[in-house]
Amino acid sequence: MFLSLALMLAFQTPPAAAVVTKPVVNMYSSATEDADVVSQALYGRPLALLEEKDGWARVRTEDEYTGWMPASSFRRLAAGEQPYASKGRVAMVEAMFANIYREPDVTKHAPLLVLPYETKLEIAAERDDRWFQVKLVDGATAWVQRGDLTFDTAPMSIDAMIAFSKRFLGLPYLWGGTSTFGYDCSGYMQMLMRRRGVLMPRDAQPQADWDRFVPVATKDLQPGDLLYFGRSDKRITHTGMYIGNGQFINATTHEKPIVQICPLGDPYWTKLLVAARRLK
């Protein structure tokens, strides 16, 4: 009886919390860099530490995704410490990449960090109409140019999101990628849906199966619908977004390993298209 109660209480104990300390960190399927990359986590984002061994931790990200990462890539939060960028004035990197400097000058030293689009930063002070001082995850302060940041993170309309999606054309495809250093297909779609204010599952198959989507027939496609490709609707391996005029945008290795716009009528894609989804 007492052992069972102890086990129940142990399972109810919340996992330790941590914060990512590097610009982008790979998450692996097991505790070794020889394993495959399953996803990534961006600088400053919170993590739940589920298991730790041999300098590695199995972590869970905000989208409920799990994987292993080296302990050197995160900092454990102290008891009662709030997650980074969860309070005060917070900005988001709007540029493809933002250079973070030790002083408000681009000429004196190389950047301390190069942070990708979507990274959130705590604003510490404003110097003038060009520079913000930011607090980093280790408590130090640094400087970033105002033009690299935005405070407007309001959800986009479908039309605005489609126009926005084209900013990423030509970025490299990267298996497991979730940043402007490189996206994979589902990481790119997940990012675009975040711009609509929606946090959907990380991988293509769970996205297609998600209960917040409804099926759409190919003949009824509308801009903003998500497309899913594979051997069947239960073996989905790729995704993209329909943008109208028989075209879709996606991160793919087909012909060129980049974010690109493809014709849906291309036989290569026609034979693989197995599902389309629309947000309820």
**pLDDT number for residue 13:** 54
Record: fold of 2-76: SH3 type barrels. (2.30.30)
Phi, psi of 141 (to 5 degrees): -115, 155
3-state secondary structure of 278: strand
Q: Give the full edge-to-edge strand order of the sheet including 273-279.
A: 213-215, 273-279, 226-230, 236-244, 247-252, 258-263
Burial class of residue 61 in the structure, from the number of CB atoms within 10 Å of its CB (0-12 exposed, 13-18 middle, 19+ buried): buried
pLDDT tens for the chain, residues 1 to 280: 334 444 333 444 568 899 999 999 999 999 999 999 999 999 999 999 999 999 999 999 999 999 999 999 999 999 999 999 999 999 999 999 999 999 999 999 999 999 999 999 999 999 999 999 999 999 999 999 999 999 999 999 999 999 999 999 999 999 999 999 999 999 999 999 999 999 999 999 999 999 999 999 999 999 999 999 999 999 999 999 999 999 999 999 999 999 999 999 999 999 999 999 999 9
- Roughly how many angstroms between the first and final C-alpha of the chain, as a whole number? 47
**Taking the model in full, what pTM does it have?**
0.93
The structural architecture, per CATH, of the domain 90-150 is Roll (2.30)
Burial class of residue 135 in the structure, from the number of CB atoms within 10 Å of its CB (0-12 exposed, 13-18 middle, 19+ buried): middle
- Among 240, 252, 203, 262, smallest CA distance to 61 is for 203
Domains 2-76 and 158-279 share a fold: no
Cβ–Cβ < 8 Å for 185, 177 = no
> Residue type for 72, please?
S
Task: Kindly provide the b/e burial profile for residues 141-179, where b requires at least 16 CB atoms within 10 angstroms of the residue's own CB.
Answer: ebbbbeebbeeeeeebeeeebbeebeebeebebbebbbb
- Among 79, 83, 47, smallest CA distance to 64 is for 47
Integer Rg of the chain from CA: 20
Which CATH number, 3.40.50.2000, 3.90.1720.10, 3.20.20.70, 3.90.1330.10, labels domain 158-279?
3.90.1720.10
Question: What are the structural domain ranges in the chain?
Answer: 2-76, 90-150, 158-279
What length is written for the chain? 280
228: Cα within 13 Å, side-chain hemisphere: 26
> Residue type for 28, please?
Y
